[in-house]
Amino acid sequence: MRWDTVLFDMDGTLTDSQEGIVKSVSYALERLGRELPPRDTLTAFIGPPLHESFSAICGMDEAETERAVCEFRDYFARRGWAETYTPAYSPPVHHSVRIPWDFPPCG
């Protein structure tokens, strides 16, 4: 059997994406003119859906949350995904995988 598509659970399994996520959240908050909270607050974005996190952690309304998610995705698609850490025991999968992110521009 030949497979055309393989899905990996990379985040927290094959890679540690904390740095890319924290920098993506920081970028989104800066783009919206928001003050950056402490790093431990930013790491709370790891795991839950972005819409929930921006709303609950930052007190954003729906429109601002949408913009923040868009800005997050913009940064993550360009740079954040590459700021992940691959532990020594993990194969370097994320460097050779085609990542199908094609988010529309923010605005």
Q: Which candidate in 4, 9, 40, 61 is catalytic?
A: 9
Q: Active-site residue 74, yes or no?
A: no
Can you tell me the distance from the alpha carbon of 35 to that of 99, in angstroms, rounded to the nearest whole number? Answer: 31
Q: Which of 6, 5, 37 is nearest to 22 (CA)?
A: 37
Please give the Cα distance from 63 to 26 (Å, whole number).
18
Do 15 and 86 touch, CB atoms closer than 8 A? yes
CA distance 22 to 26: 6
Active-site residue list: 9
